[in-house]
Structure 1
Amino acid sequence: MAIGCITASIILLVACEKFMPQAPAEDSILDGPVEGLTAEQSLQFLRGDVAFNDEVFTPEKGLGPIFVATSCGTCHAGDGKGHPFTTLTRFGQTDSTGNKFLHAGGPQLQQRAVYHYQPEQLPAGATFSRFMPPANTGLGFLDAVTDADLIALADPLDLDGDGISGVPNWIHIPEYLKERANSITHNGRYIARFGKKAAAYDLLHQTVNAYNQDMGITSAYEPYDTYSHLEIDPEVSNQTVIDVVTYLKTLKAPIQRTPNDVEVVAGKKLFMQISCGKCHVPEMTTGPSTINALSHKVFFPYTDLLLHDMGPGLDDGYTEGMATTAEWRTPPLWGLGLSKKSQGGQYFLLHDGRAHSIEEAILLHGGEGQQSSNGFRQLNTADKNRLIKFLESL
């Protein structure tokens, strides 16, 4: 009798497995931890995952009263790029002297509000830019690149004469931030590297700003309410903030698909040939990190984390830190081919999502990206397709 029950259970288990969904391939998703975390780091990753993707804020939990989104995951579905519905609007700064509209709700527009409140409106005369939420994966690797390596990639005077002069964005950092080991400063400013204008110093800076500016949630790091501008009690704990920072820091790097495909290999060669790789640098190496899994690792983000003048077509008249209005941080290209999964089935590329295809994004490059845009135009159709196939493999 017992043997019969065991046999029946095994048959039932096997039958059920046939109908269970297959786990997605690792190279087809952006979520998941980097390999080599300790048990404690893995637990913190899981806590941060829950806080980032499952925690939905309501007015009872501190939401708003004005806000952009109700959760972190709203803007970064599957840790991928955002959608026009979740686009952020920044306004009020035209040069490096500071934001002129902080009294009117700057630097970010909270265009939604809870019941009985009115959402913000753009004040008259304020220049603004729309920022598409970026993908989150691999951020810990970017965070662990040394300032010295970024300085080595910069060429502010274009000494090599290639028409490309990437520069860091130098910012003043809030008091709650701890500077990186061996950080490089310039006139009391530090090198920032996250965000469309590279205006966030590290992932704590980015996370604290997101809680406060995106969801109207105060913390001990940023205790000022976005609506009243008054200091109020924290609405999210320090532990939760740090858990989310750890989650973001320990998300895996995107895995390239079909890297050995003949067309993909040819596309990468064309990518380098038309100088795309001068800004979208294929390979970087991390420095020392308190997380051993991120320490001294070679990775392939296709960015230099520097600002580049992208010409008048991408000049929105708004800036942050020391960046000019036409300067944008080189966005990492890894994970690009998975973007449509989180963007409703189509691409919304460049800083504001205006490009609906990879080809359109390339052709909109001006300024320091003009030579690459021109190079792409001169390719025949087959070579254009190879280059795009390479980018979609990332």
Structure 2
Amino acid sequence: MNSRLLIFTILLEAILIISCERITPRVPADDQILDGPIEGLTSAEKTRFLAGDVAFNDEIFTSETGLGSVFVATSCGSCHAGDGKGTLFTTLTRFGQSDDTGNKFLHLGGPQLQNRAIPGYTPESIPAGATFSRFTPPANTGLGFIEMVTDADILAMADPSDADKDGISGVPNYGDLPSFLNPLPNAVPKNGRYIHRFGKKAAAYSLLHQTVNAYSQDIGISSSFAPFDVYSGLEIDPEISTLTINNVVFYLQTLKAPIQRDQNDPQVKQGKQTFIELGCESCHKQTLKTGPSQIFALSNKTFHAYTDLLLHEMGGGLDDGYTEGSAKTSEWRTPPLWGLGLSPNSQGGQYFLMHDGRARSIEQAIEMHGGEATGSKNRFKQLAQSEQADLIKFLKSL
């Protein structure tokens, strides 16, 4: 090869490399995404994680593969883009009653409204006399850590009679277990009912419970755990394998916890201190720990989800007249705050916060707090503008 041809070849390769770098998207940093496994998984566990990832994010159901006959979504990932929060377009409607004696509308399609249907069928409507609430899908990350918080630790954070007189009186949501569930090793039952921890009102006991309900109530897919047609209520053959259900549960259990950003930023540090001083940490507990787990990477770990997993009375403005389990109409489980700053990534570049997405900013969400959170809200409103900015920057760093 002569020297001119060699120089031309080198220049051409350099141009191609530069061009590829310009058109190939950069891999985002771990603290900028919610997806990805926890550290410490074995090779076999990583394979199982990937199988659950595919089932959760890539499998789209049709009427030929079991969709419906009535449904809300056609896949898991359609409500949890990038494992993040949903939007108003993916918000679910739950219906029932205003007392806590059990859902009286299960025979009429409750507790969830299936607002879509395959051809030849009619979507559900809310039956007369039912109350309802709208629930925006939450982010999925770090759920395995939350599942493995022991009941004893949850009860230690509860204060049903406000014994310390701080105005905060969180309580667990006790519910019945469906027949396919066995109590977790850390369970502390009360009158035959068990502490639930997942969902807006903590109505789901475990990630298996949540996953089975989602396939059935969201997509209309029967399983060996819930072998019935959501439309007719009749028993039918499973439309999804038990292996796939278990892989999705494992995927949810082993999604990594969100990674806080800018932890050493002075403004973020000051905002965290303000968060504590306002009393926000009374409900949004900074630090929790897991108990023993069959997944070694989850065993006895300290994590920072900013929740106590308890129900709190949030005032008339957030009273939707709807209850689940032992939760009253104005009681809501403290939502974890980790991942909050990444919420716009899955919400079209903006925020849809609170249980139904009604708040379009963190500031609006704070101002909608009432009930037990009234004191903290009022103290926030009294802060100087710069102090409020510090707090918001801290929350966006989570």
Q: Do Structure 1 and Structure 2 share a fold, with TM-score over 0.5?
A: yes
Q: Aligned AA for 2:39?
A: E
Residue of structure 1 equivalent to 2:84: 80
Pick the aligned partner of 1:132 from 133, 136, 139. Answer: 136
Aligned residues: 392
1:1-394 equivalent positions in 2, closer than 5 A: 14-15=17-18, 18-19=21-22, 20-394=24-398
User: Matches of 2:180 and 2:366 in 1, distance apart?
Assistant: 39
Q: By how many angstroms is 1:13 displaced?
A: 7.4
**CA deviation profile, 1:306-346 (whole Å, cap 9, x unmatched):** 00000111010101101111100000000001101101111
| TM-score relative to the length of structure 2 | 0.96
Is the partner of 2:94 in helix, strand or coil?
strand
Q: By how many angstroms is 1:124 displaced?
A: 1.5
Q: Aligned AA for 1:289?
A: S
Q: Aligned AA for 2:85?
A: K
Q: Aligned AA for 2:83?
A: D
Q: Aligned AA for 1:269?
A: Q
Q: By how many angstroms is 1:380 displaced?
A: 1.1
Q: Aligned AA for 1:209?
A: N
User: Matches of 1:100 and 1:236 in 2, distance apart?
Assistant: 28
Q: Aligned AA for 2:241?
A: S
Is the partner of 1:52 in helix, strand or coil?
helix
Q: Aligned AA for 2:232?
A: S
User: Matches of 1:11 and 1:391 in 2, distance apart?
Assistant: 44
| TM-score relative to the length of structure 1 | 0.97
User: Matches of 1:159 and 1:187 in 2, distance apart?
Assistant: 23
Q: Aligned AA for 1:18?
A: E
**CA deviation profile, 1:27-50 (whole Å, cap 9, x unmatched):** 110000001101111001000000
User: Matches of 1:331 and 1:205 in 2, distance apart?
Assistant: 18
- Work out the percentage of aligned pairs sharing the same amino acid: 64
**CA deviation profile, 1:216-256 (whole Å, cap 9, x unmatched):** 00000001111001010000100000000000000000001
Q: By how many angstroms is 1:303 displaced?
A: 0.3
Listed as ranges, the gaps of 5+ residues in structure 2 are: none
Q: Aligned AA for 2:236?
A: I
Q: By how many angstroms is 1:294 displaced?
A: 0.7
User: Matches of 1:109 and 1:15 in 2, distance apart?
Assistant: 52
CA RMSD of aligned residues (A): 1.6
User: Matches of 2:15 and 2:253 in 1, distance apart?
Assistant: 41
User: Matches of 1:284 and 1:7 in 2, distance apart?
Assistant: 56
